[in-house]
Amino acid sequence: MDAHLPATDHLAASARLRALAERVAGPEAARVSVGEMVDTLGDTGLGLTLLLLMLPVFITIPGLPVGIFFGFLVALLGVQIARGADRLHLPAGIRARTLAAGQVRHVLLAALPWLERAERWLRGGRLAGLTSAPARRLLGLVLVVQGLALAVPLPFGNHPPALAVVAIGLGLMERDGAAIALGLVLSVLGVAWNLLLIFASAELLAWAAGWLGW
């Protein structure tokens, strides 16, 4: 898609995603760049950007190395949050990368019912300390760890850290510290799960090597 997508300020997260889905609708061959989608989120996009980056983990975009690509972006955003950034700043090469508009629209529309349910649970102002500026910087470091965990090519390893990122993203969007606290718990569980998978894989390989006499 050639034209930049206009920003849609002062909208709920679900409304923003719906607006983005409508704007990427077009011819079957149309494509939308990563930079256009990030720009559409505007200056309130930190939490929503995290959510948008995690959608392909749960609703696959064919042909895209989801864990490595989006895990890298989450880690990059985590570094920027730790340094006090209020939006995701992407290298030109990543901004220019394009996805099929139809696939993006499918992912966004499939996620909307789940996001609308989550919004009914979110309450701004809970556990306010977890949404303060110092806490956000520490959350950036947590996001770096989760992004790296996502980038590790482990079977069944993507979903636990992705859930943690989604919870943190929702908490940042609504300034809901309870959602962030849930994300932190899921972060610990996600890292533990991936370490367990790595240990189990190493044990399985060692057993297989011994059985084959290597």
- Which helix (H) or strand (E) segment holds residue 27: the answer is none
Sorting pLDDT into bands at 50, 70 and 90, what band is 5?
Answer: very low
The helix/strand count (H/E) of the chain reads as: 9, 2
Top pLDDT among 40 and 103 is at 103
Percent of the chain with pLDDT over 90: 19
**Which one is predicted more confidently, 136 or 14?**
136
pLDDT at residue 61, rounded to an integer: 58
Does residue 191 have a pLDDT over 80? yes
pLDDT for the residue 2: 41
Cβ-count burial 169-193 (b if 16+ within 10 Å, e if not) = bbbbbbbbbbbbbbbbebbeebbeb
Q: Taking 50 as the threshold, does the pLDDT of residue 9 lie above it? A: no
| pLDDT of 108 higher than 60 | yes
- Assign 106 a pLDDT band (cuts: 50, 70, 90): confident
Query: Could you tell me which residues come within 8 angstroms of residue 117 by beta carbon, excluding any fewer than 6 positions away?
Result: none
Q: Tell me, what's the pLDDT at 194?
A: 84
Cα–Cα distance, 49 to 41 (Å, whole number): 7
